[in-house]
Structure 1
Amino acid sequence: MSVELMVWDEPVPISRDQARATYLAVKRTEPGDGPAPDVAKELPGEVTFYRADREHVLVKMDLDTMDEVSAQVFTVAQAHGLVCYDPQRDLVHNVAPLGVYEGMQLHTGDGMIVSDPDLGLVHDVLGTLSPQNPFVALVNFGRHFLQVSPGFELEYKESTLIQATVPELAEVRQAFNEYATGDRSFLTRHEWS
């Protein structure tokens, strides 16, 4: 079984709905001919490109190598300023806006790892918490991290690990946005133990 990602250029960040619509529209067209876009040479996996209103590159990979290859695709797409859509998870990786910590990583319990994730992706990933995705974490290695599990149990660690339970997803999203942007309001707004 294979899975796929699609990368292309967008002038501004787009929503999941826009990314999904673009992906579905491109999939209804025929692959391009002629020379492949330069970025296609850097992407791992089986690469197919499409020329519609702009160039789109589809990357297929085995399910067994999905996490490793996806991380490489996200990195290449970001380096080239390209959007990356993950139809399996229905997530879009925009180039911006980013958090304040260079090198921050987003980790999920279903195996996704993204360096320097955009804030929209962090927001959307938090909505995927489930038994299949049992945690989401933003990690600044060697410094601190913020993690959440289903039931909205937050864990924050800088020098010591502290925990707080919040009642709803909106508060989790707010805490993660504050953490990613360097705002520590979430530490005073919740009761930590």
Structure 2
Amino acid sequence: MVWDEPVPISRDQARAAYLAVKKTEPAHGPVPEVAKELPGEVTVYPGHVLVTMDLDTMDEMSARVYAVAREHGLVCYDPQRDLVHNVGPLGAYEGMQLHTGDGMIVHDPDLGLVHDVLATMSPQNPFVALVVFGRHFIQVSPDVSSDGGGGYELEYKESELSATAVPELEEVRRAFHEYATGDRSFLARHSWRRA
């Protein structure tokens, strides 16, 4: 679902807006310009546009919906993944991409989305990565080593691939935030080994 918000909103606020809109009747009258550009089956509600898509093409179509929403300065809520895509704030690298192990790719993700996506890692979503193609990347996956240590395996690559173990999700979020904003403090805070 896409709509206008004056400031970035939380996932809980986006979910509440989505559920409230789903209880109302669709709008009648002229179709907003943004609705004409969205893929899939589009239903217009007062102030909101709902896009329905099938699961087979969801990743492709949701990426397009997000791109159209961003072009129009609109919030986009993905009820399948329970994630909100705000217009900003963005990271320091134009063209940075967010990739997940369950197939989501977002160009120029907002920092709130990066924060929220990190909590979605699971056997169905085994990694999250921020990539600035041709320059560097950071990625994380749950540590599934045989020693049962838990935590996360954090990797960073610029000239060479390095890895470190991180015990807590909040530290992973901190490292991803620093990376996205051009801060490399996470490199000094951890002991890295060549991967």
TM-score band w.r.t. shorter chain: over 0.9
Q: Which residue does the alignment assign to 2:95?
A: 103
Query: How far apart in 2 are the matches of 1:145 and 1:91?
Result: 22
CA-to-aligned-CA distance 1:122-141 (integer Å, 9 cap, x gap): 00000011101100000001
Aligned positions, number: 185
1:92 alignment partner, SS class: strand
2:93 alignment partner, SS class: coil
Structure 1 residue aligned with 2:139, among 129, 144, 147? 147
Unaligned runs of 5+ in 1: 1-5
Report how far residue 178 of structure 1 moved: 0.1
Query: How far apart in 2 are the matches of 1:39 and 1:105?
Result: 23
- What does residue range 43-192 of structure 1 map to in structure 2 within 5 Å? 43-51=38-46, 55-151=47-143, 152-192=152-192
Structure 1 runs of 4+ aligned residues shifted over 6 Å read none
Report how far residue 169 of structure 1 moved: 0.2
Unaligned runs of 5+ in 2: 144-151
Are 2:12 and 1:20 aligned? no
Report how far residue 79 of structure 1 moved: 0.8
2:43 alignment partner, SS class: strand
Query: How far apart in 2 are the matches of 1:81 and 1:100?
Result: 19
CA-to-aligned-CA distance 1:32-72 (integer Å, 9 cap, x gap): 11111110011111111101xxx100011110000000110
1:117 alignment partner, SS class: coil
The sequence identity of aligned pairs, in percent, is 81
Query: How far apart in 1 are the matches of 2:54 and 2:36?
Result: 19
Q: Which residue does the alignment assign to 1:3?
A: none
Report how far residue 112 of structure 1 moved: 0.6
Query: How far apart in 1 are the matches of 2:29 and 2:161?
Result: 55
CA-to-aligned-CA distance 1:92-144 (integer Å, 9 cap, x gap): 00001100000100000011110000000000000011101100000001110
Query: How far apart in 2 are the matches of 1:125 and 1:156?
Result: 18
2:134 alignment partner, SS class: coil
RMSD: 0.5
Query: How far apart in 2 are the matches of 1:147 and 1:16?
Result: 23
